Amino acid sequence: MTEAAVCPVHQDRDHPLRPPVGFQEAVSDGPVRMLWPNGVEAWMVSSYAGVRQVLSDPRFSTRKGGQPEMRTDAGEAVLDPDQPGNINGIDGPEHMRLRRPLSRGFMVKRMNELRPRIQQIVDEHLDVMEAKGAPADLVASLCLPLPSLVIAELLGVPPEHQELFQATAGDLFGKNGSKDEYLAHATKLAEVLAPIVAAKKAAGTNDDMIGLMANDTDFSMDELIFLCIGLLAAGHETTSNFLGLFTLHLFEQPDQLEVLRRDPGRADVVVEELLRYTVGHLGGPGLTRRATEDVEVDGVLIRAGEWVSVSLMANLDEALCPRADELDLERDAVSHLGFGFGPHQCLGANLARAELQIGLRTLFERFPNLRPAVPVTEMRYRNDMITYGAAEIPVVW
């Protein structure tokens, strides 16, 4: 095996909506070895075919085990590797045991039934934003509360604990997550959740996610509580960042915004293209896997035990679609990797789609003249490694 160059991983961007400087060039001929800030080396795979291969080949495990894994800082891992209910860190039949019952709660049909309620939440929040008048912060007015209210309702948790969900999400997915802070928040959240679970068990109902998990599965209490924490956190952070980033990309590319304005009925296809493009432009390290056997990927032999970081910059690979580097809201939806691929593909994908479609469409229907109050490059961003987004989006209309 030839020794490939080792590039350091960093998150410095010269434009908030573009990948970290030099990153695309560094990984495009991959797989390449990259060096993480905590000293761990991992293969970075970023071709469309390579990413699909790694994410769907059972010889790549998501188990983080006892081995040091690449981290974006020198700190200690936030999650215990054997945390019960950590659906993203187990493989094969063990993973299917947790995943199957949850899939039922996120079925396309169920997400479609939720649409009127999502629309209502969007409408109410935009009413308030309009009544308060411009300028407004789009993040606080819509992007953050929408997914957070929806996931709380879907689970069956009172929304007043929102701040706690958000703090825990920050610990789990943030850049410098500290284990102590996470444990403190998770303990508080578990105290909120335990009586809710007990009540659902007593009532025997399965009309929300907690009821479904409590009464229709063999999940242990520890698994159930952590799954709730994970769902609240995942449902909270990702969609809100993306709704904000989508809006910013559209502000920066008015010709594309025009496509959505002309034909709001295309919101479903528009959201797929925005996901492809936005996830592709986040760049940086992606999803983590470890080879359990020697496997060849894109002509490189990855040895058993080596770490692999899968970059969803693969969404910009010309093998996926022509002019993959460009946002083109007129193209048909393609099989992008914005939600990952393989057995761990995003559980909340159909929920996120419904929220993003309804949120984006309604926003520009209600405020056809919506525009940024300050240049997009001067807004404040949260440059975390796992989740990236605007901290504030000041808008006028």
Q: Which residues pair with 6 in a beta bridge?
A: 33
CB 189 within 8 A of CB 233: no
Q: Taking CB under 8 A as the rule, does residue 103 contact other proteins?
A: yes
Peptide bond into 93 cis (omega under 30): no
Q: Which is nearer to other proteins, 345 or 377 (CB)?
A: 345
Cβ of residue 169: shortest distance to other proteins, in angstroms?
Answer: 23
203 touches which of ligand HEM, other proteins, none (CB within 5 to 8 A by kind)? none
Residues 299-338 that bind other proteins (CB under 8 A): 335
239 touches which of other proteins, ligand HEM, none (CB within 5 to 8 A by kind)? ligand HEM
Show the site string, 346-375: x = touches other proteins by CB under 8 A, - = not.
---xx-------------------------
Question: Residue 307: phi, psi to the nearest 5?
Answer: -85, 145
Residues that bind ligand HEM (CB under 6 A): 55, 62, 87-88, 99, 147, 151, 230-231, 234-235, 238-239, 242, 279, 287, 338-340, 344, 346-348, 351-352
Query: Sheet harboring 394-396: ordered strands across?
Result: 136-137, 394-396, 371-372
Out of 37, 264, 343, 394, which residue is the one contacting other proteins (CB under 8 A)?
343
Out of 75, 101, 264, 394, which residue is the one contacting other proteins (CB under 8 A)?
101
56 touches which of other proteins, ligand HEM, none (CB within 5 to 8 A by kind)? other proteins
389 touches which of other proteins, ligand HEM, none (CB within 5 to 8 A by kind)? none
Query: Sheet harboring 32-35: ordered strands across?
Result: 6-8, 32-35, 41-45, 307-310, 287-291, 60-61
Helix (H) or strand (E) holding 302: strand 300-302
Helices H, strands E: what count in the chain?
A: 13, 13
Cβ of residue 276: shortest distance to other proteins, in angstroms?
Answer: 13
Cβ of residue 220: shortest distance to ligand HEM, in angstroms?
Answer: 17
**Cα gap 310→1, rounded to integer Å:** 21
Q: Taking CB under 8 A as the rule, does residue 342 contact other proteins?
A: yes
Q: Which residue is nearest to ligand HEM (CB)?
A: 348
CA neighbours closer than 13 Å in the CB half-sphere of residue 1: 14
Q: Which is nearer to ligand HEM, 92 or 305 (CB)?
A: 92
Longest dimension (CA), the chain: 64
Q: Which is nearer to ligand HEM, 31 or 147 (CB)?
A: 147
Strands 41-45 and 307-310: parallel
101 touches which of other proteins, ligand HEM, none (CB within 5 to 8 A by kind)? other proteins
Q: Which is nearer to ligand HEM, 49 or 134 (CB)?
A: 49
Torsion angle, CA of 179/185/190/196, rounded to 10 degrees? -150
3-state secondary structure (DSSP) of residue 203: helix
Extract the tokens encoding 37.
């800030």
Cβ of residue 63: shortest distance to ligand HEM, in angstroms?
Answer: 11
Show the site string, 18-57: x = touches other proteins by CB under 8 A, - = not.
--------------------------------------x-
Q: Which is nearer to ligand HEM, 16 or 359 (CB)?
A: 359
Q: Taking CB under 8 A as the rule, does residue 106 contact other proteins?
A: yes
Out of 340, 359, 372, 389, which residue is the one contacting other proteins (CB under 8 A)?
340
User: Residue 69: which residues within 8 A CB-CB, separation 6 or more?
Assistant: 40, 77, 288, 290, 307
Q: Which residues pair with 64 in a beta bridge?
A: none
Q: Taking CB under 8 A as the rule, does residue 59 contact other proteins?
A: no
Q: Which is nearer to ligand HEM, 189 or 234 (CB)?
A: 234
- Which residue matches tokens 């020794």? 3
Q: How many residues does the chain have?
A: 397
3-state secondary structure (DSSP) of residue 42: strand
How many Cβ atoms are within 10 Å of 35's Cβ, its own excluded? 14
CA neighbours closer than 13 Å in the CB half-sphere of residue 368: 7
348 touches which of ligand HEM, other proteins, none (CB within 5 to 8 A by kind)? ligand HEM
Binding site for other proteins (CB under 8 A): 56, 96, 99-101, 103-109, 335, 340-343, 345, 349-350
